A and B are shown apart, each in its own frame.
Chain A
Amino acid sequence: MQRFNRSLDILAALLFAAALTLVNIQIVCRFILSISVPWTEEVSRLVFIWLAFLGAALGAREGSLIVIDTLPEVVGPRWDAVMGPIVRLVSLAVIVFLFVGSIPLVNSVWPTTLSTVEWISNGWAYLAFTTSYGLMAIYAATPLVRDITRVIARMH
C-alpha cells in the first residue's frame, strides 16, 4: 500500500510537470516560432482534469479536504468518537454513488475522441473521475472499517 501511495505521489508531480511543459510549449510555438499547435490547449485541459482529480484523492488520503470543522473543534475529541463514523459513512455513500454512476458514462463516451488529437478518447476525462472516486472510496472506507472493528470488539 505504501508503495502504491508513493507511486501516486510521483504521478501527481509528473502531471504537474506535464501541464507546465505543455503550456510553455504553447507560448514558445505561438510567440517565438509562430507555428500552429492546436492540440496543446485540449491536451493540457485533459492533463489538468487528471491532476485535479488525482489531487483530490490524495487530499482525501491525507485528510486535507475542505471541512467546516467549527463544531468538532468546540466539542473536542468526544465529537469524533460519536459523529466521526457517521460523517465518514455519509462521505463514503456519496463517493460510492458517484463512482458507480460514472462507469456507464465512461463507456458511452469512450468511442468519441478529442477534436485535435484523434487517438485520445474523450472518455479519459471521465475516467479521471472514476479513478479518483475509486481511490477516495478506498481511503474513506479504511477508517470506517476500523470504526466497525472497534464497535464489534467492544460488543464482545
Chain B
Amino acid sequence: PALSFAQDKKVTIRIASAFEQTTDMMQAAKRFADLVKERSQDNIEVKLFAGGQMGGEKDIVEALKLGELEMGVLGTYPIVSLTPKYSFFDAPFVFRDKEHVYKAWSGKLGDEVRDNFKKNHGIRAIGMMGRGYRHITSNTPINSVDDLKGMKIRMGQSKPFIDAFSATGAVVVPIALPELFTSLKLGVVSASDGPFDQIASFKLQEAQKYIALTGHLYATSLWLMNDRFYEGLSAKQKEVVNQAAKEALAYGDELAAASEKALGEKLQQAGMQFTKPDYAAFMAKAKPAADKLFSEQWSVTTADEIANIR
C-alpha cells in the first residue's frame, strides 16, 4: 500500500561520519539515504557529510547528544566514550569472531548498551554493520605471539588495546592516523593494527611487508541517531527509517564481506605476505590485561559470560 506523507512535516536527516564517502559504511549510508528519500516521497531529506567534514568521532558523538546532528555513522568509539563499562566491545582478544561480536551485540549486553545510550545520552542505536577483522601489519614476520616482543606498534588512544598489546610484550606508541604512513615508512614505529580497509586506504602496503592474520577484533560500525529527533517522527516516517536502515545495514554487511575478500587479495598482490600465528596464544598472553579490565572496568560482565555467548 502506498503510504501518504501529506500530513507529515518535512524533515532533514544530516548524517555525519569521519569515514570517507568511498568506504563501505558510507556507501551503505548512501543506500539508506536513497531508500528513505524514495519511500518517503521526498518527505524526508537525507544529507551526507563524510570524511570528517563535521569533525571526528568525538565531535559527532557530542553533536548527536546535543541534537546538533540527526544521525552519525561511527566506529565503536561511542561505546568506549559513552558506556566505558562496556568498552569490551572495542577490545582486542575478547571475541572469537564476527558471529561472536554480533551475538553479544544483539543479546543482553547489547540491550544494556542501547538502554544506556538512550537513557543517559539521548542517543538511539539504529544498528551495527561489519567493517572487517583487525590484523597486525609489520616489517618482520609475526609467526607467533613471541615475535611481537619489543616491537614498536602504533595504537590509537584506547586503553583495552594499549593494555592488551603491552601485555604481549610489544612497545605501544600512540601516533595520530594522518602520521601513520610516514611513521611506519620512516621507522618511528615498525608495526600497526587495523582492518584491511584501514591498511589499504593508508597505503600501508608501501610501508610494511607482513600482515599477521590475528583477527583480534571484528571491527564494526555503529549507526546512531538523536533519540528526540527519532521520537519526533510520525509513525510512517519511523517505519520508513527503520526499514531502510535494516536493508542498508544488510547491504553494508554484504559490501564489507566482499571488500574484505577483495582487499586481502589486493594487499597480497601488492607484495604483502600473510602469516597465521596461533590466536589462542595471543589470547592467553593478553588474558591478565583483560582479566584486570573485567574486574576493574567491565564489572557489568565477566570473561566467562562473554565466552559462553554462542
Do A and B truly interact?
Answer: yes
Q: Which residues of A contact B (CB under 8 A)?
A: 30, 34-36, 38, 40-42, 112, 115-116
Give, as a whole number of angstroms, the nearest-CB distance from B297 to chain A.
9
Binds A, one of B4-12, B165-173, B278-286: B165-173
Give, as a whole number of angstroms, the nearest-CB distance from A57 to chain B.
24
Interface centre among B152, B155, B166, B174 (most CB of A within 10 A): B174
Give, as a whole number of angstroms, the nearest-CB distance from B55 to chain A.
15
Nearest first, the 4 closest Cβ-Cβ pairs linking A and B are: A41-B174, A36-B172, A38-B162, A115-B159
Interface centre among B80, B166, B171 (most CB of A within 10 A): B171
A141 CA / B157 CA spacing, docked (Å): 40
- With an 8 A cutoff between CB atoms, is B158 at the interface? yes
Give, as a whole number of angstroms, the nearest-CB distance from B82 to chain A.
9
Q: Are the CB atoms of A34 and B81 closer together than 8 Å?
A: no
Q: Are the CB atoms of B171 and A30 closer together than 8 Å?
A: yes
- With an 8 A cutoff between CB atoms, is B271 at the interface? no
Give, as a whole number of angstroms, the nearest-CB distance from B154 to chain A.
11
11 cross-chain CB contacts under 8 A = A34-B152, A36-B166, A36-B173, A40-B174, A41-B175, A112-B81, A115-B158, A116-B157, A116-B159, A116-B162, A116-B174
Q: Are the CB atoms of B173 and A115 closer together than 8 Å?
A: no
A115 CA / B166 CA spacing, docked (Å): 15
Interface size class of B (residues with CB under 8 A): 10 to 19
**A-B contact sample (10 more), CB < 8 A, given A41-B174, A116-B159:** A30-B173, A34-B171, A36-B166, A36-B170, A42-B157, A42-B174, A115-B80, A115-B158, A116-B162, A116-B174
A13 CA / B174 CA spacing, docked (Å): 26
Q: Are the CB atoms of A38 and B155 closer together than 8 Å?
A: yes
A42 CA / B157 CA spacing, docked (Å): 8
Q: Are the CB atoms of A30 and B152 closer together than 8 Å?
A: yes
Q: Are the CB atoms of A38 and B172 closer together than 8 Å?
A: yes
Interface centre among A34, A112, A115, A116 (most CB of B within 10 A): A115
Q: Are the CB atoms of B162 and A36 closer together than 8 Å?
A: yes
Q: In the complex, which residues of chain A have a beta carbon less than 8 angstroms from the beta carbon of B162?
A: 36, 38, 116
Q: Are the CB atoms of B174 and A35 closer together than 8 Å?
A: no
A36 CA / B289 CA spacing, docked (Å): 15
Q: In the complex, which residues of chain B have a beta carbon less than 8 angstroms from the beta carbon of A112?
A: 81, 84
Q: Are the CB atoms of B81 and A35 closer together than 8 Å?
A: no
Q: In the complex, which residues of chain A have a beta carbon less than 8 angstroms from the beta carbon of B80?
A: 115
Q: In the complex, which residues of chain A have a beta carbon less than 8 angstroms from the beta carbon of B56?
A: none
Interface residues of B in 46-73 (CB under 8 A from A): none
Interface residues of B in 117-153 (CB under 8 A from A): 150, 152
Give, as a whole number of angstroms, the nearest-CB distance from A82 to chain B.
38
Interface residues of B in 170-212 (CB under 8 A from A): 170-175, 188
Give, as a whole number of angstroms, the nearest-CB distance from B288 to chain A.
15
Q: In the complex, which residues of chain B have a beta carbon less than 8 angstroms from the beta carbon of A35?
A: 171
Give the residue of A30, A34, A36, A115 whose beta carbon is less than 8 angstroms from that of B157.
A115
Q: In the complex, which residues of chain B have a beta carbon less than 8 angstroms from the beta carbon of A42?
A: 157, 174
A42 CA / B172 CA spacing, docked (Å): 14
Q: Are the CB atoms of A41 and B157 closer together than 8 Å?
A: yes
A36 CA / B155 CA spacing, docked (Å): 11
Residue of A nearest to B151 (CB): A34
Q: In the complex, which residues of chain B have a beta carbon less than 8 angstroms from the beta carbon of A40?
A: 174
A40 CA / B172 CA spacing, docked (Å): 12
Give, as a whole number of angstroms, the nearest-CB distance from A122 to chain B.
9
